[in-house]
Structure 1
Amino acid sequence: MVFRHLLESWHPSLYWYTPRDSMSAYFDEGYAAIRDSMTEPQFRTILSYVIAKVDCGHTSIRASKAYAHYLDTAKLPQFPLILKFWPDTMVVSANLNRRDSVLKRGTLILSINGRTTQQLTDTLFDYIVTDGLNQTGKYQYLSTGLHFSSWYHDIFGYSDSFDIGYRDTSGLTKLTRIPLYDPRADTLRKSLGHTLQPGTGQRPPGPAQRIRPADRRRRKQRELVFIRSLQLDTAGHTAFITLNTFEHGYHLRRFFHHAFTEIKQRQIKNLVVDVRSNGGGDASLSTLLTRYLIDKRFKVADSLYTIRRHSRYDRYINNGFLYDVLTLLASRKRSDGKYHFGYFERHYYSPLHQLHFDGHVYILTGGNSFSATCLFAGALKGQSNVTLVGEETGGGFYGNTAWMIPDATLPITKVRFRLPRFRLVVDRQREKNGRGILPDVEALPTIDAIGKGFDFKTARVKELIRQNADKN
């Protein structure tokens, strides 16, 4: 009951997309499903089903700290296929069993243990959170890392092997059986492969060669290159900025200044900003990037508010007192009874002038584009020199529930869940249809592109740049 009371007391958008009576029915359904002697994953699955009905991508279930530590060290067996999902389609993007010569990258999968793509997604989508009614984010979530493997295990259970229906290279429908992927056995096999001579069982002559781990500075440099990078094509007068987060800790302010200085000095005409893998972060950083590109004054939010400053359930909220103090300092109660973050509702930001980019801007988006990334892309959508390319964002266009997002911890199981405190409406004039930001030019996955590891979205942008150059 603590779970329900916390959401009902604190979540400002609990009934934004799901009516109160429907949400109450989901709470009751979840409570009735609880049984004695449940494992933590079984209990979390019930909570995930209920919380997904809130339709808030920032409100999600997390493992207890003890179980999270167990997962970090246990190296549990996994469903071996990493799949790329889109409507009615699932394609192999990687196979953890590297010796499998049948289910290679690009293979179209028709069924798993008799369940079709539609049956799998219809079931799993009931447990995956998203902003509003967005489906693109759910498809992308299942396509990322081991998320599908984890959810398949929790919902359907694992066996020692799986019957996989697939289409072979000649177009024939076939069935094969594959085993679980055991990372412990794979680690042992790779270790023996590196230390023993093939076919002899003997160590190779000479001293053992150890791979020296990269020092902390080099690891940080590699991480920074992955998080944010600038590439210049001076012959094509094009710059490519890849930005995978708006979180602090990556010197983004310095990076933006350096990048736009280079762009101005090289007289770049086309700028591609890749935020396909950017899950968001600090809105002040997304706002700063917006100011380098936007051509008018803008606000972050028309409204930004929380429904209360404290409740009798605060003891279950991690650092609850600190969040109460921050809410007290930042918000003021209005006539509607809500506590508004008035600064962002009133304040207009202006374009930067010194390093402002006025050429053609192409923003690459996808299902992993979320939260602060949608504030950035949404503010620029519709500007005459800006084109959004790719897929619908996973985050909402109308607004979201986020800003301050503490964890709440349930008292007995210690299962945690994210509990955002502020509802943000970007622009009241936009339609609240539950969708993400739609691209101006779609670039959608294909089986052939996945098989070849082809970056079809970047290719589409380059095609648009060539077409624009030909016109001029």
Structure 2
Amino acid sequence: MNRLYSFFCLLSTLFLFACGASEKGFRPDRKYAPEVLRKDYTVFRNLLEAWHPSLYWYTPRDSMSAYFDEGYAAIRDSMTEPQFRTVLSFVIAKVDCGHTSVRASKAYVHYLDTARLPLFPLVLKFWSDTMVVAANLNRRDMTLRRGTQVLSINGRTTQQLTDTLFNYIVTDGLNQTGKYQYLSTGLHFSSWYKDLFGYSDSFEIAYRDTAGLVKNIRIPLYDPRADTFRRSLGRVLLPGTGQREKGPAQRTRPPSKRARKKRELLLTRNLQVDSASQTAYITLNTFEHGYHLRGFFRHAFKELKTRKVKNLVLDVRSNGGGDASLSTLLTRYLIDKRFKVADSLYTVRRHSPYDRYINNGFLYELLTLVASRKHNDGKYHFGYFERHHYSPFKNLHFDGQVYILTGGNSFSATCLFAGALKGQSNVTLVGEETGGGYYGNTAWMIPDVTLPNTKVRFRLPRFRLVVDRTREKNGRGVLPDVPALPTIEAIGKGQDFKTARVKELITAHRLQ
């Protein structure tokens, strides 16, 4: 069944690639008339109400209807694409499904890839009522260095910023950890700040200095087109090579495709063994296909057995998920009992009057027809996963102490993995709550929808998955057994505080 699913996904990808067309004469400031936006919004609402199997899972029907009405009422005048996407994002965030999100049109994505637009210069780490500088794009700025606590931006405090931004950020259930982590990742904060508050030439920043005093500073926008700092250094990093050059005329040959692939694999999944402490460290940043994970798992656990490793630290903090068959495969190397992927896995229909807006809708309809059967509850169930039990591996099964590092970026299939092992006597989850849900999620097949006029896209998951109906449906992620939370000092020093906490646990266990 998983092979059939992968086959149809491949067909879908090839179809998208073949049918892609370049957008000519694109204008990012183009405004769409309100009647055009309302037509797209109506398609948006009708598709969610027809297809989404968890639309009212955490938000009651009457409340969700009120949010839909609020979004429609917000279209009072002409809007640019980003303005319209902001309206859609506000509504879709109320579904409380991390797999259901708004995406820019393909033309707008292409524009962003080449425009090199000015940016809010600070990359910030958020948690609770705290925001701390993780990086500063204005590299000449010696004041707002990594680890500096920012108290407000243009007068808006951390709480005021997150209270506003969280209304537009999707998450599974009532999870807040995932939203904090989302704002802390890459340029997400910069993008949302621009869309909701707008940019000016500079920003008034209140911060706390090293002496604990509150001070203010005005910082400029970061303009990548005007950044000559790298060239002025004389010796600079060549993009993607890790090598340095002495001047513009002495560039070395870029790495080969094979070398780039090897480096990508190493960064995505790797194994390190510390023989002195009999501890192995596996970093796993995805469960997606294309990274030879089956072979990697087999090699890694064979190595653990050969080298008689007693402790395994498995880092899935940056693992956003992927194919559940791969997360299930890894689980079988570690779990001590038979398990199921899902107690229930179903979609609410096979087709609707709005399917023409679903990208490759025919392929998804065909796959649903093959894989699901209608039950007495009126839903179409993916019965294979509801019935099938998986057993632990025997040959290369790891029976030592297992420490799983989790965080707000741990999502989707990663939560199936961590959730299945939670509570096992030799497994300890360390870090922060996962961004994905513990009780279940809405995913499995996730086509894009393209709205007919603006070409704005959104993801529309088809199946609701309940992992274990005996778990509490409280909207939380997989909670750690041993919390390891960020601190201002740790961010400032660039410390891996979660790995440090695991090493303490391993030492304490050895001394018992």
Task: Give TM class, smaller chain.
Answer: over 0.9
What is the CA–CA distance in structure 2 between the aligned matches of 1:160 and 1:239, rounded to whole Å?
49
1:223 partnered with 2:264: yes
Distance of aligned partners of 1:216 and 1:20 in 2 relative to their CA distance in 1, 3 Å threshold: same
The partner residue of 2:230 within 190, 208, 222 is: 190
SS in 1 for 2:378: coil
What is the CA–CA distance in structure 1 between the aligned matches of 2:193 and 2:111, rounded to whole Å?
19
The within-5 A match list for 1:95-114 is 95-114=136-155
What is the CA–CA distance in structure 1 between the aligned matches of 2:155 and 2:491, rounded to whole Å?
24
Question: What residue is the counterpart of 2:306 in the other structure?
Answer: 265
The alpha carbon displacement at 1:37 in A equals: 2.5
- Per-residue displacement from partner, 1:230-257 (whole Å, max 9, x unpaired)? 0000110000000000000000000000
Question: What residue is the counterpart of 1:345 in the other structure?
Answer: 386
Distance of aligned partners of 1:257 and 1:178 in 2 relative to their CA distance in 1, 3 Å threshold: same
Question: What residue is the counterpart of 1:234 in the other structure?
Answer: 275
Question: What residue is the counterpart of 2:478 in the other structure?
Answer: 437
RMSD (CA atoms): 1.4
The partner residue of 2:79 within 28, 38, 47 is: 38
SS in 2 for 1:163: strand
What is the CA–CA distance in structure 2 between the aligned matches of 1:410 and 1:4, rounded to whole Å?
11
The partner residue of 2:195 within 136, 154, 171 is: 154
The partner residue of 1:247 within 288, 298, 302 is: 288
SS in 2 for 1:284: helix
1:15 partnered with 2:56: yes
What is the CA–CA distance in structure 1 between the aligned matches of 2:116 and 2:68, rounded to whole Å?
33
What is the CA–CA distance in structure 2 between the aligned matches of 1:367 and 1:207, rounded to whole Å?
41
Question: What residue is the counterpart of 1:54 in the other structure?
Answer: 95
The alpha carbon displacement at 1:191 in A equals: 3.9
Aligned length, in residue pairs: 463
The partner residue of 1:136 within 177, 180, 194 is: 177
Question: What residue is the counterpart of 1:361 in the other structure?
Answer: 402
What is the CA–CA distance in structure 2 between the aligned matches of 1:194 and 1:169, rounded to whole Å?
32
The partner residue of 2:419 within 378, 383, 390 is: 378
1:311 partnered with 2:369: no
SS in 2 for 1:111: strand
What is the CA–CA distance in structure 2 between the aligned matches of 1:79 and 1:338, rounded to whole Å?
47
Question: What residue is the counterpart of 1:209 in the other structure?
Answer: 250
- Per-residue displacement from partner, 1:27-59 (whole Å, max 9, x unpaired)? 010011113321110000000000000000000
What is the CA–CA distance in structure 2 between the aligned matches of 1:177 and 1:195, rounded to whole Å?
30
Report if aligned partners of 2:234, 2:247 keep a CA contact under 8 Å in 1: no
- Per-residue displacement from partner, 1:254-274 (whole Å, max 9, x unpaired)? 000000000000000000000
Question: What residue is the counterpart of 2:116 in the other structure?
Answer: 75
Report if aligned partners of 2:235, 2:247 keep a CA contact under 8 Å in 1: no
What is the CA–CA distance in structure 2 between the aligned matches of 1:207 and 1:266, rounded to whole Å?
48
Give the structure-2-normalised TM-score.
0.89
The alpha carbon displacement at 1:194 in A equals: 4.3
Give the gaps of 5 or more residues in structure 2. Answer: 1-41, 237-244
The alpha carbon displacement at 1:211 in A equals: 2.9
Letter in 1 for 2:414: T
SS in 2 for 1:53: helix
Distance of aligned partners of 1:333 and 1:452 in 2 relative to their CA distance in 1, 3 Å threshold: same
Question: What residue is the counterpart of 1:64 in the other structure?
Answer: 105
What is the CA–CA distance in structure 2 between the aligned matches of 1:49 and 1:31, rounded to whole Å?
11
Question: What residue is the counterpart of 2:33 in the other structure?
Answer: none
What is the CA–CA distance in structure 2 between the aligned matches of 1:208 and 1:406, rounded to whole Å?
47
Give the structure-1-normalised TM-score.
0.97
What is the CA–CA distance in structure 2 between the aligned matches of 1:79 and 1:207, rounded to whole Å?
28
What is the CA–CA distance in structure 1 between the aligned matches of 2:386 and 2:248, rounded to whole Å?
67
Distance of aligned partners of 1:69 and 1:207 in 2 relative to their CA distance in 1, 3 Å threshold: closer
The alpha carbon displacement at 1:214 in A equals: 1.1
1:470 partnered with 2:511: yes
SS in 2 for 1:28: helix
Letter in 2 for 1:210: R
What is the CA–CA distance in structure 2 between the aligned matches of 1:224 and 1:160, rounded to whole Å?
40
Question: What residue is the counterpart of 1:402 in the other structure?
Answer: 443
What is the CA–CA distance in structure 2 between the aligned matches of 1:258 and 1:189, rounded to whole Å?
44
SS in 2 for 1:235: coil
Letter in 2 for 1:462: K
Question: What residue is the counterpart of 1:4 in the other structure?
Answer: 45
Question: What residue is the counterpart of 2:466 in the other structure?
Answer: 425
Distance of aligned partners of 1:5 and 1:76 in 2 relative to their CA distance in 1, 3 Å threshold: same
Question: What residue is the counterpart of 2:38 in the other structure?
Answer: none
Q: Structure 1 runs of 4+ off > 6 angstroms? A: 204-207
- Per-residue displacement from partner, 1:315-344 (whole Å, max 9, x unpaired)? 000000000000000000000000000000
The alpha carbon displacement at 1:178 in A equals: 0.2
Report if aligned partners of 2:103, 2:458 keep a CA contact under 8 Å in 1: yes
SS in 2 for 1:290: helix
Question: What residue is the counterpart of 2:331 in the other structure?
Answer: 290
